A and B are shown apart, each in its own frame.
Chain A
Amino acid sequence: MEVEHQEIANFLVAYPPFSDLPQEALYKLASQVEVGYYRAGSGILEYGEQITYLYVIRSGAVELYRRSGELYNRISTGGIFGQRGLLMNRKVRFGAQSLEDTLVYCIPVGIFDEYCDVYEAFADYFEADDNARLKITVSEQADSNDLTTAKVRKLLLRDVVYVERNATVQQAAQVMAKEHVSSLLIYDPEKPVVEDPDEDDGQVVGLISDRDLRTKVVAEGLNYQTPVSEIMSTDLIIVDSNAYVFEAMMLMLRDNVHHLPVVHKRKPIGVVALSDILRYESQSSLLFVRGLMDQQSVEDLSSYAKQLPAIFTRMVNEDANSHMIGSAMSIIGKTFKHKLLELAEAKLGPPPIPYCFIALGSMARDEQLIVTDQDNALILDDSYQPAEHGTYFEKLAKFVCDGLANCGYKYCDGGIMASNPTWRLTYSQWLAQFEDWIENPRPEALLNSSIFFDLEGVWGETKWAEKLTAFISKKAKNTPKFLAAMAHNALRRTPPLGFFNGFVLEQDGEHRRSMNIKRRGTAPLSDLVRVHALGVGSKKQNSFERLEDIDEANILPKGKVLDLQAALEYIAIMRIRHQAWQIEQGEKPDNSLPPETLSDFEQRNLKEAFGVLDKAQSFLKFRYQNKSMMK
């Protein structure tokens, strides 16, 4: 006797592929179902085990894992799992674990097979699904060849080729000919990387290319015995092996260089040439950077800048991750500065003394998004004389800051801008300033100035910025009091989670009942990551790269770095998507996220990400504050 299982049939009929079954088939299926209950956190399927059911989630949520243990998918009510295993040799392909208390309906393999045979739509669903999965796999492979997700080190098809600085140009040319390379790194054997980890220059001191041989040697009739060090380019732009390909390409386009040495932990591992990259399809953001460099006036720049929101939304729609979007937006921002400084120098004449224009905060961290203040400053050469040079740099800074404002980068509310005389200091003054901040940390004073601890040289003597970073990382690491003060700051802003794990919403005039996902999410997370990064002496600026260093230093409990990476990525991408959505709706993008616009699933994930932040803050307190109190 078959009895009508109304509850089950009523449920299944709402979800494909069951919705396409004839009624009697649906009832028959419902009568064959088995039901299982899994308390939150229990294992349902293990990779590789025999599978004899198709699983449908009746209530609750389930996480699926790849064999590697990496999360593959999260599904909730109505979600189906187990089909991959049923279709492929009846072994579980994705391990399954209940995320919440979960009730599953299990459809025995016999009836699954029968329905796949008899009902075309039913079979199509799983086959189509199979194809979709395949497409994902394929696109995953394609992605790894893609500019946006490939890392620079993927482009390095061969070992690095280099000669020492005393080699002659002829020897260099012979090596290039033999190795079939168009460029050569020059290293200084007197300057080994290991002995000098803080000075950062490492052993790569220069680079020569075909073009150097052509223009500087052959064309000039130079003696072939000339040491290669005399013709090499020394002002190298170096990329880390972790940089994305498109970042490298943007750098090359921006600075008009054709070869980029790649380093891994400051050790040279190869050179990427523009031609290596140009094989790849160009992306809108790359073309944007190139176009930006062609603009001839502030007016041109500011009208050109109007495309920026479209570039941003396009990257979001192309599923770029937050690191890529943050890097692209930062490089674009830096290119604006770069271009404005060129224009300023063309207008005001060449600078009377060397200087370096620095980006601060999110732009320095390569985490800039579309809604952003300009945070910048100037480092001046120690020969700076206010009476003599003051006016020039005042005008220069004003030109750049006004120009940025014209291009959509708002003035900084806190006045952290090169146009503010307080933030135009000589190199020695900056050094003293950072020393004072670190040695006499007053949490209130560091509150605003913590933005200075992420800095990057954009134009001019960018080495100075690197030296300051090196100084900070060395000094901060050994000053527990400072780390405690930074930790204190990092704990000011808590994630928006209340009792019973609900969102705590803010009631401000314009944005009623929403949460500020920057103030309560990405900002406290990057603050927290900065403290740990300084604590382990990392010189990285980007939060994800900092997390890699933190992971290597092994200071956090096992698995926490992964949690933090995932939380940061999730919160950042939610913020990014929110802004992209607003742009597409014709609204002004902001950081206020109303939770009701999120699906249950997004809410759950976001709560989980905030939970990670919350726990990490407790750990931060424990690690840095207790220690310093004991001193």
Chain B
Amino acid sequence: MQGEIMSWPNRFQHLAKTSQDPRIQAFYQQGVVDPYQQLSQCEFVALDFETTGLDPNIDDIVSVGVVPFDLRRIRLAQAKHWLVKPTSPLAEESVVLHRITHSQVESAPDLQDILEEVFASLHGKVIVVHYQFVEKSFFNSALKARLGEGIEFPVIDTMEIEKSAINNARSWLDKLKRKPIPSVRLADCRKRYGLPYYQPHHALSDALATAELFQAQAQYYLGPSDMVKRWWS
């Protein structure tokens, strides 16, 4: 990406003008959440992708999970989950991981066909992910491969929140002694807040797990009156 985005509303305005694909254009035209809005007033959506592998240049998305929530409640009735047919073949290892099988994706639609639905579920909401690299780069590459142009969007990353919380809690002595930093994997982060273990690698339950983690982090590390832009990237 091209360095830190100074203003997401401006960036979106710019991208709305320069994008070619009507669906992507529409996405940018919806605008972003006001960066000065307080977290307690926000609607969030936890977003998670399962992929065929780890390299966004080779691998592709196989499922998408979205779970809408606010700081008080996660609303599963409005959660959504899509299986999509990847452009690259399903590797055996990834089947083992997310247990999505070849025959399931055979009959699944292409990402293009559900794009509008996905955009609709993100509309007006602050996107929350765990480890933004996956969602940002895979979404970008997948669209580039299909529509000839990528996508950019701001997210709150629960992994970043966790890293900064850990960093604040670490004493100078810990740092001096190079005491290993605790794991920031989703399941390990959740454990620190007394959250239950969920079977990982299902886009829907990972999104739910991320939403729960964010609620917990919000109670420990974020102020409900913090502005969105403080945690955005």
Shortest distance between the CB of B97 and any CB in chain A (Å): 16
Q: Which residues of A contact B212 (CB under 8 A)?
A: 35, 37, 103
Q: A37-B215, A37-B216 are in contact. Are A58 and B196 (CB under 8 A)?
A: yes
B76 touches A33 (CB 8 A): yes
Cβ contact within 8 Å between B202 and A106? no
Q: Is the C-beta of B19 less than 8 angstroms from some C-beta in chain A?
A: no
The residue on A at minimum CB distance from B74 is A35
Do A3 and B208 touch (CB < 8 A)? no
The answer on a CB contact under 8 Å between B199 and A31 is no
- Residues 193-233 of B, flagged 1 when their CB comes within 8 A of A and 0 if not, give 11110110010110010011001100110000000000000
Contact of A8 among B76, B81, B219 (CB under 8 A): B76
Say whether A101 faces chain B, with CB atoms less than 8 Å apart: yes
Interface membership of B79, Cβ < 8 A: yes
Is the CB of B170 closer than 8 A to any CB of chain A?
no
A60 within 8 Å of B by Cβ?
yes
Contact check: which of B75, B194, B215 meets A60 at CB < 8 Å?
B194
Q: Report the bound CA distance from A33 to B81 in whole Å.
A: 16
Interface on chain A toward B: helix, strand, loop, or mixed SS?
A: mixed
A252 and B219 CA atoms in complex are apart in Å by 60
Measured as residues with beta carbon below 8 angstroms from the partner, the interface class of chain A is 20 to 34
Contact B80 A100 (CB under 8 A): no
B74 touches A7 (CB 8 A): no
What residues of chain B lie closer than 8 Å to A390, measured between beta carbons? none
Q: Does B77 contact A (CB under 8 A)?
A: yes
Give the B interface residue count (CB, 8 A). 26
B179 within 8 A of A: no
A48-76 contact mask (Cβ, 8 Å, vs B): 1 or 0: 00000000001110000000000000000
- Contact A36:B79 (CB < 8 A) given known A59-B196, A103-B194, A103-B195: no
Query: Are B204 and A106 in contact (CB-based, < 8 A)?
Result: no
Determine which of B69, B79, B194, B199 lies in contact with A3 in the assembled complex, contact meaning CB atoms within 8 Å.
B79
Does any Cβ of B come within 8 Å of A5's Cβ? Answer: yes
Q: Which residue of A lies closest to B216 (CB)?
A: A37
Q: How far is the CB of A53 from chain B (nearest CB, A)?
A: 9
A111's nearest neighbour on chain B, judged by CB, is B77
Known: A32-B77, A35-B211. A101 touches B216 (CB 8 A): yes
Question: Which residue from A8, A11, A35 sits with its C-beta under 8 Å from B73?
Answer: A35
Asked if A39 and B79 make an inter-chain contact with CB atoms under 8 angstroms apart, the answer reads: no
Interface status of A269 (Cβ within 8 A of chain B): no
Q: Which residue of A lies closest to B76 (CB)?
A: A33
Interface membership of A6, Cβ < 8 A: yes
**Which chain B residues in 57-81 approach chain A with CB under 8 Å?**
69, 72-77, 79-81
Closest CB-CB distance, A43 to chain B, in whole Å? 12
A102 within 8 A of B: yes
Partner of B79, one of A5, A59, A102, A103: A5
Q: How far is the CB of A77 from chain B (nearest CB, A)?
A: 8
Decide if A30 is an interface residue (CB 8 Å cutoff): yes
Given A35-B74, A36-B215: A102 and B194 interface contact (C-beta under 8 Å): yes
Enumerate chain A interface residues (CB-CB to B < 8 A). 1, 3-8, 11, 30-39, 42, 58-60, 100-103, 106
Could you jot down 6 A-B contacts, CB within 8 Å?
Answer: A6-B202, A8-B76, A35-B74, A36-B73, A103-B194, A106-B73
Q: Across chains A and B, which 3 residue pairs bring their CB atoms closest together, nearest first?
A: A101-B194, A35-B74, A37-B215
